[in-house]
Amino acid sequence: MDNIIKTIHPFTEEVLKEYEMYDDDELYFMLKTSKEAFLDWRKQPLLNRIKFLTEMAGILDQQKEQYANLITMEMGKPYRESIAEIEKCIWLIDFYEKNTELFLADELIETEGQESFVSYDPLGSILGIMPWNYPFWQVIRFAIPTITAGNTILLKHANNVSGCALAIQGLFEEAGYPKGCFQTLFVTHKQVETIIENDWVKAVSLTGSEKAGRAIAAIAGKNLKKTVLELGGNNACVVWEDADLETYMDSMIKSRLQNAGQSCIAAKRFIVVESIYEEFLMKFKRALSDIRIGDPLDLKTELGTLARVDLAEEIQRQVDESVQKGAKVLIGNKRDKAFFEPTILVDVVPGMPVFDEEVFGPVASIIKVKTREEAINMAANSTFGLGTMLFTNDIEEARKQIGNVEDGALFINEMVKSDPRLPFGGTKNSGYGRELSREGILEFVNKKTVYIK
């Protein structure tokens, strides 16, 4: 039936649960509830809103095994990574509990007036459209700063993690947030347009594909609604000839295989200077071959299944077309339903899908270049701009590349990763706006100028 959502365990293909989508009357009621909740919630003193974070962090910690199991069952992430995801959510909540008062304090500015300052006021109901790959983290990193600033949240989560969506709503309710502050919506794409058009909804945050971002931005723009878009990535891992492979190979492998490669900030293109290329390839292949594959609920499993069969099929298309254009498979390239074997492709060049497109799975494309300069230029040869990582012992020379990297992040001798203390977001087709840190909490506030004379 068109109005039924099914969640499916990707490893066993078991149907976990069915959910009925909301009709237009139910949706209207929830939008109205969100608006009415905002009118009271925004009046709460900031310190009162911050107090809810302590309770929420405690619940997450007490029930993290239950939440982690749900993540793994719905989208196939290894259980050990699901636990880490919940722990990262706790870290973020703790960060905003300690820093929100400072972030939202009036900013005094000296003028000719008796008093002038910037006041940071909430906007209203904010729609979050969130992906399945980090089903708790993506929601929490958007929702916590946004709701603590005084807004209310409407969540449209990915259908295949609907259980996680309801669990997160339950988490907010158990922590004591007033009714209507956080609501999960089971709605169609057409209803999403209706939500954005509604005057009570003031802005949209989307984490997802470039295609989804363009569609949502068009609707929001037509309705003069602010958007924050965190879209796809095609991150480069640049390896200069003096890179310490012994120290950093684990980071490079993790940068490709974390969450089975289903991460916007994963390293997808490994651009290696030719003098270290053979050594890199040998060590990378050996490390990749040692990855423990199996049931994602097994604590020993490092790589499980992808989240859906169609995702694995899309990766197979990208690899096959790249091979037809001259890429060679060094290891891997076997698919079984939603599982895709860790794969290394060599002789990769621009114009191949595995170079040009985002490959959302455990496929590493290796590109050989002659010089450091060529490596940096090759990394920039992308329509995406989420992050670049550079491995080298020459830190001073690496610093000189900061201005040459157009992405939202440059990580030197470390994999690109999100951190509550640092702003997160991209450029080019990777979107715009920032999450996390002070920048994240200020995305959905009215920066109001107040002048008193």
pLDDT of residue 1: 56
pLDDT of residue 145: 98
Q: Mean of the per-residue pLDDT values for the chain?
A: 97
Summarize the confidence of residues 156-165 as an average pLDDT.
98
From 74, 81, 210, 230, active-site residue: 230
pLDDT of residue 438: 98
Tokens of 151: 């807004």
C-alpha torsion sign, points 425, 428, 430, 433 = positive
At 2, the pLDDT band (50, 70, 90 cuts) reads confident
DSSP string, 14-51: -EEEEEEPP-HHHHHHHHHHHHHHHHHHTTS-HHHHHH
Residue 316: pLDDT over 70: yes
pLDDT of residue 388: 98
- The pLDDT tens digits of the residues spanning 378-401 come to 999 999 999 999 999 999 999 999
Summarize the confidence of residues 415-424 as an average pLDDT.
98
Eight-class DSSP state of 177: P
- The pLDDT tens digits of the residues spanning 41-57 come to 999 999 999 999 999 99
Tokens of 348: 């990769």
Residue of 80, 93, 365, 387 whose CA lies nearest to 233: 387
Encode burial over 108-126: b for 16+ CB neighbours within 10 A, e otherwise: eeeeeeeebbeebebbbbb
Residue of 120, 116, 118, 87 whose CA lies nearest to 101: 120
- The pLDDT tens digits of the residues spanning 177-223 come to 999 999 999 999 999 999 999 999 999 999 999 999 999 999 999 99
Known catalytic residue: 85? no
270 neighbors 277 (Cβ within 8 angstroms): no
Other CB atoms within a 10 A radius of the CB of residue 54 amount to 12
Please name the residues in contact with 414: beta carbons below 8 A apart, sequence gap of 6 or more. Answer: 251, 389
Q: Which domains does the chain have, with CATH numbers?
A: 4-231+430-452 (3.40.605.10), 235-420 (3.40.309.10)
Eight-class DSSP state of 230: E
At 170, the pLDDT band (50, 70, 90 cuts) reads very high
Cα–Cα distance for residue pair 376/399, rounded to 1 Å: 13
C-alpha torsion sign, points 358, 360, 366, 369 = positive
Summarize the confidence of residues 323-331 as an average pLDDT.
98
Summarize the confidence of residues 317-332 as an average pLDDT.
98
Q: What percent of the chain has pLDDT over 70?
A: 100
Please name the residues in contact with 57: beta carbons below 8 A apart, sequence gap of 6 or more. Answer: 90, 93, 94, 97
